[in-house]
């Protein structure tokens, strides 16, 4: 299950683990014009863990989910390849 909320300066996507036990903590993705952040609460350390991705990294990740093993380089945004 997931939710999508539009804030003033970002879109917030929350991924809720409704799969098999043991369940993982919710994943929160904030999309801004200049970057994307992915956050998840770490119960072991009782802290929120965060990584920041550029738009290009998110584009590459989306492409990688549908490709077989290998090394790839996508053309720059706006360029056909």
Q: Who's near 68: CB < 8 A, 6+ residues apart?
A: none
29 inside domain = yes
**To the nearest 10°, the Cα dihedral for 29, 27, 13, 31?**
0
Q: Please check whether residue 71 lies inside any domain of the structure.
A: no
Check residue 81 and give its pLDDT. Answer: 58
pLDDT for residue 80: 67
- Residue 79 domain-assigned? no
Task: Give average pLDDT by consecutive 10-residue segment, the chain, 81 residues.
Answer: 93 93 94 96 97 95 91 82 58
Retrieve residue 68's tokens.
Answer: 């077989």
Both tokens assigned to 15: 């991924």
Q: Indicate whether 43 belongs to any domain.
A: yes
In a domain, 80, yes or no: no
* pTM greater than 0.75 (yes/no): yes
Residue 76 lies in a domain: no
Is residue 46 one of the residues assigned to a domain? yes
Q: Please report the pLDDT score of residue 23 as a whole number.
A: 93
Domain count, the chain: 1
pLDDT score at 52: 98
Residue numbers of the domain that contains 45: 2-64
Residue 72 lies in a domain: no
pLDDT value, residue 26: 96
């Amino acid at each position: 299950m997931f939710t999508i909320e539009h804030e003033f300066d970002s879109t917030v996507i929350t991924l809720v683990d409704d799969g098999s036990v043991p369940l993982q903590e919710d994943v929160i993705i904030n999309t801004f014009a200049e970057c994307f952040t992915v956050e998840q609460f770490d119960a072991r350390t009782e802290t929120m863990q965060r990584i920041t991705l550029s738009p290009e990294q998110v584009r590459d990740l989306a492409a990688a989910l549908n490709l077989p093993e290998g090394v790839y380089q996508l053309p720059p945004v706006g360029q056909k390849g």
